[in-house]
A and B are shown apart, each in its own frame.
Chain A
Amino acid sequence: GENVEQHPSTLSVQEGDSAVIKCTYSDSASNYFPWYKQELGKRPQLIIDIRSNVGEKKDQRIAVTLNKTAKHFSLHITETQPEDSAVYFCAASYNFGNEKLTFGTGTRLTIIP
């Protein structure tokens, strides 16, 4: 089955700086890669996703890049703000038939004011 690795496990950045979280996946058939943000005591919420036919996707301060050959994808947050502090999870799934998500281990991001 699919295996997703995520690094780093914790990340602290100064407010206004950029943060990058990286994930690798094992199953070349995976073609859908969402990123979830989970604040303390809350449910995971999708912040951005990318499909395997796209190399990069951006939504305001958040961007995701995908390298299918290397089987890795990354989350980039620019101009970080205190409200970006949370745990971020990457995930992978094979869409069009098996939509179950395999999650990475999570990254606790702390924004230092």
Chain B
Amino acid sequence: SAVISQKPSRDICQRGTSLTIQCQVDSQVTMMFWYRQQPGQSLTLIATANQGSEATYESGFVIDKFPISRPNLTFSTLTVSNMSPEDSSIYLCSVLPYSAPGQGADEQFFGPGTRLTVL
């Protein structure tokens, strides 16, 4: 398993500002992902955070709006830039621990989430 922490746990921000969310894991993991969960909705993948290279973004999400860093195998940040009220959501990181060679990856673990409210 993996123990994941996110900072901040919640924040209230003014429109036009930016917020950086941190995701820290207690052990090295192979993959890290960032999801958005809008109120009462399902989880939507924003991007895959790649260690040492640019993140891989899903359709509808762009680097200028959601820049992502992953400097090592245990840490990643997601920035929500130039925020508007539509960005009010819960942002969750998830991780995929290493598995044995030739084995499919197992459980993806989620962080506790960051609840963002944009006024």
Per-residue 0/1 for A78-113: is the Cβ within 8 Å of any B Cβ (1 yes, 0 no)? 000000000001000001100111111110000000
Within 8 Å by CB of B110, from A44, A95, A100, A104, lies A44
For chain B, the count of residues having a C-beta within 8 Å of the partner chain is: 23
Q: Is the C-beta of B92 less than 8 angstroms from some C-beta in chain A?
A: yes
Q: Is the C-beta of B73 less than 8 angstroms from some C-beta in chain A?
A: no
Q: Which of A14-22, A45-53, A55-63 contacts the other chain? A: A45-53
Question: Are B110 and A32 in touch, CB under 8 angstroms?
Answer: no
Chain A residues in 8 Å Cβ range of B113: 43
Question: Are A96 and B104 in touch, CB under 8 angstroms?
Answer: yes
Q: Known contacts A100-B33, A100-B45, A105-B42; is A46 also within 8 Å of B104 by CB?
A: no
Task: Give chain A interface residues in 24-54, CB to chain B under 8 Å.
Answer: 31-32, 34, 42-46, 49, 51
Q: Is the C-beta of B112 less than 8 angstroms from some C-beta in chain A?
A: yes
Instruction: Give CA–CA (A106, B45) in the complex, Å.
Output: 15
Instruction: Give CA–CA (A99, B32) in the complex, Å.
Output: 10
B34 to chain A, nearest CB (A): 11
Chain B residues in 8 Å Cβ range of A44: 43, 92, 110
Q: Is the C-beta of B53 less than 8 angstroms from some C-beta in chain A?
A: no
Question: Are B108 and A106 in touch, CB under 8 angstroms?
Answer: no
Question: Are A32 and B104 in touch, CB under 8 angstroms?
Answer: yes
Main secondary structure on chain A at its contact with chain B? Answer: strand
Task: Give chain B interface residues in 1-35, CB to chain A under 8 Å.
Answer: 31, 33
Question: Are A100 and B104 in touch, CB under 8 angstroms?
Answer: no
- A-B contact list, 26 entries, CB within 8 Å: A32-B104, A32-B105, A34-B107, A34-B108, A43-B111, A43-B113, A44-B43, A44-B92, A45-B110, A46-B108, A49-B106, A51-B104, A89-B42, A89-B43, A95-B105, A96-B104, A99-B31, A99-B105, A100-B33, A100-B45, A101-B108, A102-B45, A103-B42, A103-B43, A103-B44, A104-B42
Q: Give residues in A with beta carbon < 8 Å to B.
A: 1, 31-32, 34, 42-46, 49, 51, 89, 95-96, 99-106
